[in-house]
Amino acid sequence: TLPTATPPSIASFRMTLSRPAVLTGLTTVFFVLCGNTAGISFVRPFLEAGPQLDVKTISIVLLTFGVAGFFGNLIGGALSSRSPALTAAGGALVIAAGTTVLASQGSTTSIIFVAIAIWGLGFGTFPVAISSWNAQAAPDQAETAGALLSTAFQVAIASGAVLGGLLLEGLGAVAPIYSAGLAAVTGASVMLLVGRS
């Protein structure tokens, strides 16, 4: 339950952005979502170029990602009540694990399905946890903090799509997948090193 607050204003945005915990959450969101979007947007070229999966199998792989994400949402909800910081960082690290396994070992169908399920589980956990973190970072400015979080999500998604495309063209199909892991580790580090302090 969140308290009723006055409508957001420019002053409330400035005040909310001045809080270190809010900035930590927004920075974490940018890294994790930017990398994740870069990877998932271009996972099909990777699966077609490397393991050479057909369209039907790729569809099932993406379905696996979605189903795992659903269970990640449930896990994120359960764990966030205890520690949003650890849950958000943990979700990001699970993303990093899944993407790294996929990029480095994803030559067989079984490994691909395991890696994409791990990736989806982490990605499902992360948004729930970071939303809890954001709400606790500015409980008296819930509407403003929520608007800032939504904006950070959209900027990260747009940036990730551009980044993934550039990496795909410049370095090949595996580069966006690796970038997702690297960005997720960076986001987790921000939350663990700055957020928890």
Q: What is d(CA 163, CA 27) in angstroms, rounded to the nearest whole number?
A: 17
The one-character DSSP state at 54 is: -
Q: Which whole number is the average pLDDT over 154-173?
A: 96
pLDDT of residue 49: 87
Percent of the chain with pLDDT over 90: 78
The amino acid that residue 161 corresponds to is A
Mean pLDDT rounded to a whole number for the chain: 92
Whether 1 shows a pLDDT value over 80: the answer reads no
Q: Are 92 and 180 in contact (CB under 8 A)?
A: no
- DSSP SS3 for 194: helix
Residues composing the chain: 197
Q: Are 47 and 61 in contact (CB under 8 A)?
A: yes
pLDDT of residue 7: 67
Give the model confidence (pLDDT) of 96-153 as tens digits.
Answer: 999 999 999 988 999 999 999 999 999 999 999 999 999 999 888 888 888 999 999 9
Q: Which whole number is the average pLDDT over 38-55?
A: 91
pTM here is 0.91
DSSP alpha helix (H) spans, the chain? 10-17, 20-41, 43-49, 55-80, 84-105, 109-137, 142-171, 175-189
Rg (CA), the chain: 17
Q: What is d(CA 49, CA 120) in angstroms, rounded to the nearest whole number?
A: 21
More confident residue, 5 or 7: 7
- Residue 51: phi and psi, rounded to 5, are -75, -10
The candidate with the shortest Cα–Cα distance to 102, out of 53, 140, 67, 54, is 53
Give the model confidence (pLDDT) of 47-73 as tens digits.
Answer: 998 888 899 999 999 999 999 999 999
Look-up: residue for tokens 């520690």? 83
Q: Are 31 and 187 in contact (CB under 8 A)?
A: yes
pLDDT of residue 138: 86
